[in-house]
Chain A
């Protein structure tokens, strides 16, 4: 990709990239994301037909 296109894009900082694979942080995120997903799945099943 050309430099101009790359310059127009938001890029992650070194800290952000580090946290993406930093085990203690990712273990915490694993729990958080799972809870968020379970919440959405349960909401999606709660639709008995309205009378």
Chain B
């Protein structure tokens, strides 16, 4: 009998848990340890943030799903890993905490799918809790943003002009795609509510060019040309009257004012009435101890808190980055029974070209690991652990981001007849200039298009993936 413990119940953790449970017989146990009682379909938080959905529509309670599936659920936040056990018992275990109570959960195999810590603290004044900006990272953050938006709309209906600042709140952020979605949805909503003329909308991002998305942008075949994606995104913004600031590191926020530095070293101020700025991410801050209680966190984690896996972490200049640097099995090099999945694994380096301002400030988008790649990695890690439990001597499957593609649908306005979304496919996620010279990607598969069909797909994904997450009949036939 083996015990598989999964830390986190986001897209990677939930996918890993549900597939592992399906593939393992009842002799083996699957346990999920997660601080929140719900599963959140994060891509739809955008719609909560503009008031088109309620938070309850993007979350589902985990306990009944896991009870039905035969998965043990421990609602607690993982704090410590003890991969060698303790002096009394060599069984590896995790310490998790809930409401001040510490819980010890023993494991034979562990998946760290804890996702990111939202580091609002990295920028003074950033964030909805004690700061001056809003967020859509969590459903309750998004609901708060929607309420603030309603207040702004009321002011504009009374004839006031308001300024909206949307984007990312630090030079090292990732998830620019979510900020992009929010700004275009916001603009669509303001039009729908009849107050667009009263609003000035500005997008601020750390990306070197629009739609870099932390993966060095992409090139698309379109109209007989191979065109960089930022051309299309700039067009989309200009068409909607959205202004933009690229290559920016937000340094500080005060009430109604953002201070930022641009890559040329210049410092600027931007007043605003409403700001939704996403935070940078780090690992959740797990610590690890050996059998004697010595802190061995640096063996399992990078300084940013993300978990070391089978990647090549040797520091290299941009010109020497290789697709082979990227992890394939997500197995910890320190402990063969420990894996990471989703945002929790440490990328070997960024995907986008790094940039630093003359003041020494890094300003470049960090690599994305969200959504579909997270689910694919979660499923692959589950498959590998199941095969190890069944006697394999090494992981049997791989899911390198340098070999997988990503499909992403970014909503640009939610309406069944007049809405649109940008449908994007990039293959592979990490450019491979040996296989695909010049652009690093397969241009017959890399694709982007904006239209109503994209909105239908985004809506379909919302319902399909919440259905799948609830393990309703046929759930495993829905591809992730």
Contacts and interface: CB of A to CB of B under 8 A. Distances in A.
B447 interface: yes
Contact of B235 (A12, A25, A36, A45): A12
Nearest to B426: A40
Interface of A: 1, 5-6, 9-12, 19-21, 23, 25-27, 29-30, 33-34, 36-45, 47-49
Contacts of A45: 376, 379-380, 399, 479
Interface in B369-402: 372-373, 376, 379-380, 394-400
Contact of A49 (B396, B423, B427, B479): B396
Given A1-B241, A10-B235, A11-B238, A47 B407 contact: no
Given A10-B231, A47-B398, A29 B417 contact: no
Contacts of B404: 43-44, 47
B470 interface: no
B445 interface: yes
Given A1-B243, A12-B235, A41-B405, 8 more contacts: A11-B235, A21-B417, A21-B420, A29-B451, A33-B454, A33-B457, A36-B407, A37-B407
Interface in B451-475: 451-454, 456-457
B239 interface: yes
B137 interface: no
A21 B394 contact: no
8 closest residue pairs by CB, A with B: A44-B404, A40-B405, A1-B243, A30-B453, A29-B453, A37-B407, A9-B238, A26-B452
Contacts of A21: 417-418, 420, 451-452
A23 B451 CA distance: 10
Contact of B479 (A5, A36, A41): A41
A2 to B, nearest CB: 8
A38 to B, nearest CB: 7
B376 A9 contact: no
Nearest to A28: B453
A26 B244 CA distance: 29
Chain A interface mostly:
helix
A21 to B, nearest CB: 5
Nearest to B418: A21
B450 interface: yes
B341 to A, nearest CB: 14
A43 B238 contact: no
B234 interface: yes
A27 B455 CA distance: 12
B396 A48 contact: yes
Contacts of B232: 10
Which of B329, B406, B479 has most chain A Cβ within 10 Å? B479
A42 B457 contact: no
Given A21-B417, A21-B452, A36-B425, A47 B235 contact: no
